[in-house]
């Protein structure tokens, strides 16, 4: 998932955009998880991937028909993943070989990605990019 959604973000924003998104979403998911569930151990990698899910869809949103179709297809997948994470979080997590999955971190990583895109869209476009 990291490769697929990382490539989608890279197509739109370049390698720096992928790294920035990954780090912001990993930190966002981990920090919220730490403050809400202090005894949970969270490295943030899966939160970062969930952030890339959201960012890849939001970056595809434009009035270009090709991009709208891509956003609709990706959006359906991302929507299903987010709903599944909400259901799993409400149910108390899913047991794995290594313990519990931190669904709150996944959701907060996705939220951090959405906030990042919204903030970046507020920046003026550089001259020559219009």
CB 61 within 8 Å of CB 68: yes
For residue 83, pLDDT over 70 is answered with yes
The phi and psi torsions of 95 (rounded to 5 degrees) equal -70, 135
Q: Is 106 annotated as catalytic?
A: yes
Domain boundaries, the chain: 2-121
SS3 28: helix
What sign has the CA pseudo-torsion 84, 118, 13, 111? negative
In the structure, what pLDDT confidence band is assigned to residue 101 with cuts at 50, 70 and 90? confident
> Active-site residue among 30, 33, 42, 106?
106
The pLDDT tens digits of the residues spanning 20-66 come to 999 999 998 888 888 888 777 677 788 888 889 888 888 877 667 77
In the structure, what pLDDT confidence band is assigned to residue 19 with cuts at 50, 70 and 90? very high
SS3 104: helix
For residue 93, pLDDT over 70 is answered with no
In 27-116, the DSSP E strands lie at: 95-96, 99-100
For residue 81, pLDDT over 60 is answered with yes
Of 77, 41, 73, the C-alpha closest to 60 is 73
Q: Rounded to an integer, what is the distance from CA 50 to the centroid of its chain?
A: 4
Beta bridge partners of 99: 96
Which long-range contacts link 74-77 to residues 24+ away (Cβ below 8 Å)? Answer: 74/8, 77/53
The CA-based diameter of the chain, rounded to the nearest angstrom, is 52
Q: Rounded to an integer, what is the distance from CA 38 to the centroid of its chain?
A: 22
> Active-site residue among 30, 33, 42, 46?
46
For residue 94, what pLDDT is reported?
53
For residue 22, what pLDDT is reported?
92
For residue 72, what pLDDT is reported?
80
For residue 77, pLDDT over 60 is answered with yes
């Amino acid at each position: 998932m990291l490769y697929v959604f990382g490539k989608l973000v890279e197509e739109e924003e370049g390698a720096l955009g992928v790294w920035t998104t990954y780090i912001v979403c990993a930190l966002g998911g981990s920090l919220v998880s730490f403050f809400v569930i202090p005894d949970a151990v969270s490295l943030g990698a899966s939160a970062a991937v969930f952030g890339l899910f959201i960012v890849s869809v939001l970056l595809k949103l434009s009035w270009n028909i090709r991009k709208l179709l891509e956003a609709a297809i990706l959006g359906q997948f991302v929507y299903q993943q987010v709903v599944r994470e909400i259901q799993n979080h409400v149910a108390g997590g899913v047991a794995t070989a290594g313990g519990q999955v931190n669904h709150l971190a996944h959701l907060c990583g996705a939220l951090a990605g959405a906030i990042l895109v919204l903030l970046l869209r507020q920046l003026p476009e550089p001259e020559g990019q219009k």
